[in-house]
Amino acid sequence: MNDDAFEELFLSLATSPAGDHADVSELDLTSAQAQEIADLLDTARLVRSVGIDIPALSQDRTAEMLGLVSDQPLDRRELKRLRLRKGLSVSQLAQSLRKRGWEVSDQQSFDWEQHDHLLMSTALMSVVAEELGTEPAVLVRGAETEQASTLRAIRNTDQFRAFVGRWASALRISIDAAESQLSSKALAAVYRGDAADGEQMLQSLAALVAAVESRNGRK
């Protein structure tokens, strides 16, 4: 398997709820690649053994809030509140999104705040959230704010900031991109239906970051 395909496979397994059950025996892997996958699956099993369980995406409300499934119902009132808090006009938000490569008109940005029952693509919602200094889950109509609140708390810890730096270094991405990715993965560690648990989030991130560092260290 070439490096690009293996990189995609590795990250897919690293972030998949069922990653530790994956059968890779029929894949065309080198001995080194097979060992890296084996190490990753062992790490995933360790994460589960300490009580971190991620349900199937189709059944997971948290996954829906994270944007791990298709389009999400937009909370227009929360969007407007956060935009005003950030000091942005409707057109300025649209302009910022266009600078990031999204074809968003001023009218479209205006419509987001005027109509109920609008859906927004998960990828776009993630970018809008970054522009407004929040998490995608906060912009989902009916989102469980306790989880978003817990995430904000752990993002202010030295431990989380250290994970962000390590993740950015391991994947050779920006700090902002690393923080966004790890924020989503932290929320994905919460049990469906349970209260948000900051320590659980940090335990999951510790295992994930270490697994990706280990994989990249053997490239």
Domain tally for the chain? 2
* 106 and 166 fall within a common domain: no
Query: Considering only 20-24, 66-70, 136-140, 151-155, which range has the smallest mean pLDDT?
Result: 66-70
140 beta partners: 74
* 168 and 206 fall within a common domain: yes
Query: pTM here?
Result: 0.40
pLDDT single digits (tens) 183-196: 777 766 554 445 55
Enclosing domain of residue 89: 70-143
- What pLDDT score does 199 carry? 82
Is residue 19 in some structural domain?
A: yes
pLDDT single digits (tens) 64-84: 444 444 577 888 998 999 999
Task: Provide the pLDDT confidence category of residue 109 given band limits of 50, 70 and 90.
Answer: very high
Q: Which of 143, 171, 200 is the last residue of a domain?
A: 143
* 135 and 89 fall within a common domain: yes
